[in-house]
Structure 1
Amino acid sequence: MAEPAYAKKMYRWVDENGNVYFSDQVPPDQVKHKRETLSEKARVLDVLEKAKTAEQIAQQKRLDALRKEQEKIIAKQNANDKVLLSTFRSVEDMNKALNNKMASLDAGQKVIEGNIERIQQQLQQQQQQAANLERGGSKIPPKLLADIAASKQQIDAGKQELLRHQQDRQTTEKEFKADIARFQFLTQPNNEGKPNNGESLAASNARNELGLFVCEDPAQCKKAWIIAAEFVAAHSTTGQDVESEKLIMRAAPQKDDDLSLSVSLLEHNNTLQIFLDIRCRQSSIGNELCSGAKAQSIRQAFAPFIQSSLAAQQ
């Protein structure tokens, strides 16, 4: 039976000393506490969380910002992986595509080199003509001088185009080889030597690569969160900064070789996930550290570490 609209409401709250209060009015000095709105039959009608401190508000903002960035990373990597797995069937297919692409770029380079060589020969003829005129005591016509200048300009432009083409070739080859390595990682058998089972294995490998642990249920996630905190402490070189129910973050890196790890509890499609992030100092050495093999190995070890630790607890 629904409560009458005019039914008198009561409030229940607990202060910082654990004292429980019931009243139809909340004193101004008590509004900071979490409170429940009760009907005359003591049914909870509404719950108002306690007011957050400035520090808690700032921490929540940091968590929200971190979540957004981490969710972007996860979404982008997942999208790239799906394209990769749907485009190619095997490493052999990828190598064949790479060879075809390189052959096409090499053919384009030969065209550019041929154009440069043709203009260089043209320039030699123009310069020879000018030299013959000078030796004969004749004045070099303005048009011939203009043609020589134009040929030199075309050669310079051709060399710049050739350099850009060579750089594009190097970039294309590097990115393609990175895709091949990624494809191999996504489709490799797991550590137990079980055969590749397609997308599920690829998804598992991708999560490991990102430093992402997907919880089976809230109870498992609670245990995994404690293990994740141990992992962060073991692999960070900086002190503790934030530790809450949804974010554990070490202090910002101060030295070039510092590693500052953080984990955040995310919810995606009604599934709880623990995401690992690694920060390094904003310097050339720090950036290289964060993009290098050491940071990558830490990310890849995160989810398996939680899985093995959970298994050991059973």
Structure 2
Amino acid sequence: MISRLHSSALLRGRSQERALYSNHFRPRAALAAALALGLGAFSLSAPGQQLYRWVDDDGKTHFSDRLPPEATGKARVELSEEGIPVREVERAKTREEWLQEQELERLRRETQAQVDKQRKEDEILLRSYRSADDLMMMRDGKIEAIDVMIQQIKGNIRRLQNRVNRLQANAADLERAGKPIHPTLEGDIRSTKDNIEDQLALILQHERDKQGVYEKFAEDLERFRRLKDVREPVVDQSSEQVRLGLKNLVLCANDRECDLLWGQAIGYVEAHSTQPIESLSDNVVITTAPQDEEDISLIVSRIAIDATSPDAGSVLFLDLQCSSYTETASSCRTPARIEVLEGFRAALLGDAAGRMPEDKSGEDAGAAGTEATSAAPERAPAPAPAPAQKPAPAGQ
């Protein structure tokens, strides 16, 4: 009885093993059959040859040991002899896709170059300055260096203008005596006037350089505060000087308007300077130097925008005269002097706007001719300050 039960259990165990074996190997057999249908024909006849799997335009999958011409540009999978994928090849790119990829790569390189450049500049900025105050001190030092050059140029202009006055006086004496003016004398007068024009243009260029310094350091200061995560406001005393960059500069578009505004500029100097006019010409007016801190001494110049085009317009520029050539603008500017500079533009353009409405188009054209007035305010009448004049020294 026990022997029959043992035999029956043994038969059932073998039957289960056969079932498990069949279930385990049936899927692999099916896969092998599928591969045999697609690969068997050439895998047996060409061992070691590269095999490919690719899809045609109709969505049908193909297996082959070589690619037909119509499949060379399509995506494909390279298979081993056993049918295992070893490498995937993307489809060939169109010319448009290739060009787009090249452009994207160029943009990525440029972007990375900008990022690297910015990081380098940030590192230099942080190494160069310990605080925002250090940065502003460096800026002020650059501004003062430019101011010293401007004061030296003003001294040159004063000497050149005195020379012109002497030469013109000599020419007038010859005319009164009925004698001809020698060409050399005429040439000296002409060349000295040209030299004055060059010096005036140089002053205007230095003023623009100062504006560039202010703008650059404003960006550096903002970046420094961001890098240092400084949240408290930084007290910057330069805003007043930046505002003066436009209020003491006036643009005129043509000779007629420039002549009118030039006459008003001379009147403004006469009304607001405490010092008498020392030298006056067609393009520069200079008062005598200040004698003390309360004196207001001015220089106003008329600078052609384009020397080769007489009717291209001019810039009228008002500035302070300091007591010495080495004195900087920051030490020369007192509240009363700043008030005079700030009133210059409004005084001239407010009056001109009321008297010459037909020239507004010309004013626009002139404004487009120079970047110095890119943020020029609208023309509107505004009262100008008029400090009490000092009496002229005896003999002047």
Q: CA deviation at 1:108?
A: 0.8
Where 2:92 maps in the other structure, the secondary structure is coil
1:170 counterpart (211, 214, 217): 211
Distance 1:189 1:143, change over 3 A: closer
1:49 counterpart (73, 90, 94): 90
Q: CA deviation at 1:16?
A: 6.1
Q: CA deviation at 1:58?
A: 4.3
Where 1:8 maps in the other structure, the secondary structure is coil
Q: 2:74–2:91: 8 Å Cα contact kept in structure 1? A: yes
Question: Which structure has the larger Rg?
Answer: 2
**Which residue is equivalent to 1:30?**
71
Distance 2:98 2:183 in 1: 76
Alignment deviations for residues 20-74 of structure 1 (CA, whole Å, 9 cap, x no partner): 4432122333333322323324455543211224453343244234323323332
Distance 1:184 1:28, change over 3 A: same
Where 1:173 maps in the other structure, the secondary structure is helix
**Which residue is equivalent to 2:177?**
136
Q: CA deviation at 1:181?
A: 1.5
TM-score with structure 2 setting the length: 0.42
1:98 counterpart (139, 145, 151): 139
**Which residue is equivalent to 1:145?**
186
Q: CA deviation at 1:163?
A: 1.7
**Which residue is equivalent to 1:285?**
none
Structure 1 unaligned regions, length at least 5: 1-5, 194-314
Distance 1:125 1:179 in 2: 49
TM-score with structure 1 setting the length: 0.52
Alignment deviations for residues 201-225 of structure 1 (CA, whole Å, 9 cap, x no partner): xxxxxxxxxxxxxxxxxxxxxxxxx
Distance 1:145 1:27 in 2: 92
Alignment deviations for residues 251-303 of structure 1 (CA, whole Å, 9 cap, x no partner): xxxxxxxxxxxxxxxxxxxxxxxxxxxxxxxxxxxxxxxxxxxxxxxxxxxxx
**Which residue is equivalent to 1:125?**
166
Q: CA deviation at 1:117?
A: 0.9
Where 2:197 maps in the other structure, the secondary structure is helix
Where 1:37 maps in the other structure, the secondary structure is strand
Q: CA deviation at 1:105?
A: 0.7
Alignment deviations for residues 115-144 of structure 1 (CA, whole Å, 9 cap, x no partner): 011100111111112212222333323332
1:114 counterpart (155, 159, 163): 155
Distance 2:136 2:57 in 1: 66
Distance 2:146 2:187 in 1: 33
Where 2:73 maps in the other structure, the secondary structure is coil
Distance 1:53 1:178 in 2: 45
Structure 2 unaligned regions, length at least 5: 1-46, 233-396
**Which residue is equivalent to 2:5?**
none
**Which residue is equivalent to 2:389?**
none
Between the aligned residues of both structures, percent identity stands at 34
1:39 counterpart (73, 80, 85): 80
2:52 counterpart (11, 18, 33): 11
Q: What does residue range 287-298 of structure 1 map to in structure 2 within 5 Å?
A: none
Q: 2:52–2:67: 8 Å Cα contact kept in structure 1? A: yes
Alignment deviations for residues 127-178 of structure 1 (CA, whole Å, 9 cap, x no partner): 1122122223333233322221221121111112212221112112211222
**Which residue is equivalent to 2:123?**
82
Distance 1:82 1:22 in 2: 59
Distance 2:186 2:94 in 1: 79
Q: CA deviation at 1:81?
A: 2.1
Q: 2:50–2:66: 8 Å Cα contact kept in structure 1? A: no
**Bigger mean CA deviation after superposition, 10-19 or 181-190:** 10-19
Amino acid at match of 1:23: S
Distance 2:100 2:160 in 1: 65
Q: Does 1:181 align with 2:214?
A: no
RMSD (CA atoms): 2.7
Alignment deviations for residues 68-119 of structure 1 (CA, whole Å, 9 cap, x no partner): 3323332332232222222222211100101111111100110111101110
Distance 1:16 1:185, change over 3 A: farther
Distance 1:56 1:138 in 2: 85
Amino acid at match of 2:171: A
